[in-house]
Structure 1
Amino acid sequence: MITVHLRYEIDPDKLDVFTEYGRAWIRLVAKHGGTHHGYFMPSEGDSDEAFALFTFPSLAAYEIYRTASKTDPECVEAFELARRTQCIRRYERRFLSPVFSADAEGDSPAAR
């Protein structure tokens, strides 16, 4: 299992557009076999930083999604929304492996 952590530097004057972008990707990640854990928007503190987390069963499954997203019309439309509105200034992507409690050992990659 692989979790993707995205850190976005966003335009704080375009939160509504970025929210629209995020809602689209929550559905699109699920459409392509992932589990989205949500977008986390600025509240207190920095007004130009947002985060997203989503999980795929494996890095290979994530790569299939990435390839498919380049030609899927709905994904292309979401990419275009961000490009056209410039609601995202930049982003960083990290790949993480989740650790579960001892009660969920069977679900943990380390338990395999």
Structure 2
Amino acid sequence: MITCVVDYVIDPAEIEAFEEFGRRWIELVERHGGTHHGYFLPAEGASDRALALFSFPSLAAYEKYRALFGVDPDFVAADKIRDDSGCVLRYDRSFLRPLER
């Protein structure tokens, strides 16, 4: 299993658009074989950071999902929310693996 952690810098004035963006991506990850662990939005402290965590059974499964970016109409529509609203200012993606017992 591989888990992708996306660390976002968001525009706090566009939080509603970011929430809609996140809901769409939760659906897309799960539809294409991943497990979405959720988006974590600002509550206290810095109001411009958010995280998303989702897992795929393997890096190959993740790459199959990534191949749909910019091609699949549902992926394009989800990114359009981000692009049109400007809700995401920057993001960084990291990949982690679980430590087994």
Category of TM-score, reference length = shorter chain: over 0.9
Q: Secondary structure at the match of 2:89?
A: strand
Q: Number of aligned pairs?
A: 101
Alignment gaps of 5+ in structure 1: 103-112
Runs of 4+ in 1 over 4 A off after TM superposition: none
Q: Secondary structure at the match of 1:69?
A: coil
Instruction: Spell out the pairing of 1:1-112 with structure 2 (5 A cutoff).
Output: 1-100=1-100, 102=101
Q: Secondary structure at the match of 1:53?
A: strand
User: Corresponding residue for 1:108?
Assistant: none
Q: Pairwise CA RMSD of aligned residues?
A: 0.8
What do residues 87-109 of structure 1 show as CA deviations (whole Å, max 9, x unaligned)? 00000000000124x3xxxxxxx
User: Corresponding residue for 1:107?
Assistant: none
State TM-score, norm by structure 1. Answer: 0.87
More helix by share: 1
Alignment gaps of 5+ in structure 2: none
Report how far residue 80 of structure 1 moved.
1.1
State TM-score, norm by structure 2. Answer: 0.96
What do residues 13-72 of structure 1 show as CA deviations (whole Å, max 9, x unaligned)? 010000000011000001111000000000001000000000000011101100023211
